[in-house]
């Protein structure tokens, strides 16, 4: 009994120890990692017995080494990492939303060589970053499991940096339609072979994840713009432009593009430039001017004024007013402007001199002279018009006359054509009748020949038939030996099949009287039997002798 009690007590103790061990294991050793987080492990090494190798400084621990492990466990339940030997840290995943980028800095590895501050490589795997510093690669929208012992991340949206008048973009960069991105590399990239500074290749419209420590983007509009310089007009109390006697607006002195002509008159004009930036020229524009608006203020406006003054000062006021010489001035300004912008990588579509303000003292005589010349030309044109109108009326009469003449000639031609047609119809009908008569005559001749041939054929057939019948009778007679035998054969053939012959005895001189008694039973003739045509008469019956 005592032994059984000892065994039972030992069993209960073992069960209690097992329950205690299971409870300790489930409550202490077991750890749950939920969705959206990872488990980072650090091995503490043996606590009582033995020693462990410590991982190198700045490096992850290899299996069996003391230190932080690179691999992180995903969501799930882990039961064999006892906190006595393992440090267990829950690390939330890094979530990068649309419109954001994650900048990653490596805390593991060696320091970068002098002059370099960007690290090439990935977060994990064989291409993991081996140096400390900011990773060249940025993380776009998504969920990432990042070991925060070796890397730290920073979420950035749109990063804008103002350099002078330029606004540089990085992070989540959106280049809209009608724009291009001019790339400025803050450091050279040996992997892609790109050097530092402004790059020749531009980024087309789109969304880009840009590392602000590596690159900056200038968003430059491409296409054409309009830049105008206009002369101010004097206005009356009602706010409307004041007009001189010739209807021209009065210009405010010094406004617009003002310059003296070569004959000493003050000239003012309006100018419009249609200019633009092509995608291939955008890097040069950014490098030279910084922005498109700066290019307008530094080149387009000043050159519009300068070129117009230079070319206008070479001409007299009269030349600037006259059509041909004014067009020559327009062409010289446009060509000169085009060459200047071409050297600066700007494209000129049109350079237009819109209006030239000539002083009234010189404009009025010139205009009056032009008006007189125009009136003279108008009178000449009116005279020419009246002369042409008279010629037109005469031509209309000739047209009516020729029309009637054509009608008469047409009627004659129609009548002649009808008569000729009727004549040809008669000739054709006569020729047709002659052909019909000839054909009828031939048909009659053929009918006569047919009747003659049919008559001859019929008579010949009758003759041949009769000859055949005669030959048949001769052959039959010859076959029986004589005519009598043939005749008896014909008689026998003519007898009916059911004829009955009776023999009776008649005495001498009593034949005719005895025949009376046999008449009903011995018919002398068969009315139904046919009589052969054209055959000799049947022989008379003879009485049977004794």
pTM, 2 dp: 0.57
First-to-final CA distance of the chain: 170
* For residue 535, pLDDT beyond 70: no
Say which residues have a Cβ less than 8 Å from residue 74's Cβ, sequence separation at least 6.
Answer: 33, 38, 39, 145
Report the run of H or E that residue 104 belongs to, with start and end: strand 101-106
Hunting for tokens 């310089």 — which residue is that? 229
Least confident interval from 75-89, 319-333, 471-485: 471-485
What's the DSSP call for residue 280? Answer: G
Q: Where exactly are the structural domains of the chain? A: 26-90, 94-221, 223-358, 370-468, 481-546
Q: What is the pLDDT of residues 489-518, one digit of tens each?
A: 777 777 777 776 665 555 565 555 655 555
For position 277, what pLDDT does the model report? 95
What's the DSSP call for residue 346? Answer: -
CA separation (Å) from 53 to 81, 149, 303? 19, 19, 76
Q: What is the pLDDT of residues 396-418, one digit of tens each?
A: 888 998 888 898 889 889 988 88
Q: Residue 271, Cβ neighbours under 10 Å: how many?
A: 24
Q: What is the pLDDT of residues 261-275, one digit of tens each?
A: 888 888 889 999 999
Token code pair at residue 303: 């050159």
What would the mean pLDDT of 132-147 be, rounded to a whole number?
A: 92
For position 543, what pLDDT does the model report? 37
What's the DSSP call for residue 28? Answer: I
* For residue 302, pLDDT beyond 90: yes
Q: What is the pLDDT of residues 344-382, one digit of tens each?
A: 999 999 999 988 888 777 767 666 666 777 788 888 888
Cα-based angle 136, 287, 302 (whole degrees, multiple of 5): 155
102 contacts 159 by C-beta, under 8 angstroms: no
Token code pair at residue 135: 């990773």
* For residue 278, pLDDT beyond 70: yes
Least confident interval from 36-45, 123-132, 279-288, 524-533: 524-533
CA distance 240 to 250: 11
Q: Annotate 378-422 with DSSP letters as a single string.
A: HHHHHHHHHHHHHHHHHHHHHHHHHHHHHHHHHHHHHHHHHHHHH
Say which residues have a Cβ less than 8 Å from residue 341's Cβ, sequence separation at least 6.
Answer: 275, 299, 300, 303, 347, 348
221 contacts 179 by C-beta, under 8 angstroms: yes
Confidence of residue 546 (pLDDT cuts 50, 70, 90): very low
Q: Annotate 423-466 with DSSP letters as a single string.
A: HHHHHHHHHHHHHHHHHHHHHHHHHHHHHHHHHHHHHHHHHHHH
Token code pair at residue 189: 């990239």
CA distance 398 to 394: 6
What would the mean pLDDT of 46-63 be, rounded to a whole number?
A: 81
Question: What percentage of residues in the chain have a pLDDT greater than 70?
Answer: 88
Residue 142, helix vs strand vs coil: strand
* Cross-strand bridge partners of residue 153: 104
In angstroms and rounded to an integer, the radius of gyration of the C-alpha atoms of the chain is 68
CA distance 358 to 317: 7
What's the DSSP call for residue 234? Answer: -
Architecture of domain 223-358: 2-Layer Sandwich (3.30)
Least confident interval from 21-25, 34-38, 377-381, 442-446: 21-25
201 contacts 185 by C-beta, under 8 angstroms: no
């Amino acid at each position: 009994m005592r032994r059984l009690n000892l065994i039972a007590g030992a069993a209960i103790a073992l069960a209690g120890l097992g329950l205690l061990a299971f409870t300790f294991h489930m409550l202490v050793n077991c750890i749950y990692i939920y969705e959206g987080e990872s488990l980072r492990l650090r091995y503490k090494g043996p606590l009582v017995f033995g020693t462990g190798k410590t991982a190198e400084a700045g490096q992850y621990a290899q299996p069996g080494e003391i230190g932080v492990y690179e691999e992180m466990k995903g969501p799930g339940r882990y039961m064999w990492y006892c906190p006595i030997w393992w440090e267990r840290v829950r690390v939330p995943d890094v979530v990068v939303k649309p419109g954001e980028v994650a900048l990653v800095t490596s805390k593991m590895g060696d320091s970068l060589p002098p002059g370099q501050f960007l690290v090439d490589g990935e977060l994990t795997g064989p291409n993991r970053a081996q140096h400390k510093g900011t990773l060249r690669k940025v993380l776009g929208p998504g969920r990432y499991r990042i070991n925060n012992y070796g890397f730290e991340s920073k979420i950035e949206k749109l990063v804008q940096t103002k350099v002078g008048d330029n606004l540089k973009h990085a992070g989540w960069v959106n280049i809209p339609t009608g724009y291009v991105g001019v790339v400025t590399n803050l450091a050279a990239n040996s992997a892609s072979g790109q050097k530092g500074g402004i790059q020749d290749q531009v980024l087309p419209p789109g969304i880009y994840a840009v590392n602000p420590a590596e690159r900056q983007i200038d968003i430059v509009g491409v296409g054409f713009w309009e830049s105008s310089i206009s002369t101010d007009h004097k206005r009356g109390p009602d706010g409307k432009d004041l007009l001189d006697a010739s209807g021209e607006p009065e210009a405010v002195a010094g406004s617009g593009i003002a310059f003296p002509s070569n004959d000493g008159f003050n000239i003012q004009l309006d100018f419009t430039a249609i200019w633009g930036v092509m995608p291939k020229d955008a890097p040069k524009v950014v490098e030279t001017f910084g922005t498109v608006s700066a290019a307008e203020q530094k080149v387009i406006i000043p050159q519009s004024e300068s070129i117009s003054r230079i070319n206008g000062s070479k001409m007299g006021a009269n030349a600037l007013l006259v059509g041909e010489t004014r067009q020559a001035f327009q062409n010289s300004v446009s060509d000169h402007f085009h060459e200047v912008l071409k050297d600066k990588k700007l494209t000129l579509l049109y350079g237009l001199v819109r209006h030239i303000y000539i002083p009234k003292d010189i404009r009025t005589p010139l205009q009056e002279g032009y008006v007189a010349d125009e009136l003279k030309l108008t009178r000449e044109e009116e005279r020419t018009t009246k002369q042409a109108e008279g010629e037109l009326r005469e031509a209309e009469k000739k047209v009516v006359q020729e029309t009637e003449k054509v009608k008469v000639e047409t009627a004659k031609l129609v009548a002649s054509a009808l008569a000729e047609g009727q004549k040809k119809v008669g000739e054709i009908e006569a020729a047709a009748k002659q052909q019909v008569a000839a054909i009828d005559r031939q048909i009659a001749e053929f009918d006569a020949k047919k009747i003659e041939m049919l008559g001859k054929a019929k008579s010949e057939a009758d003759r041949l038939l009769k000859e055949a019948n005669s030959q048949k009778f001769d052959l039959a007679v010859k076959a029986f030996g004589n005519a009598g035998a043939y005749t008896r054969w014909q008689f026998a053939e003519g007898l009916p099949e059911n004829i009955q012959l009776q023999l009776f005895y008649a005495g001498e001189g009593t034949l005719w009287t005895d025949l009376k008694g046999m008449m009903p039973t011995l018919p002398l003739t068969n009315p139904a039997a046919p009589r052969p045509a054209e055959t000799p008469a049947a022989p008379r019956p003879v009485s049977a002798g004794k």
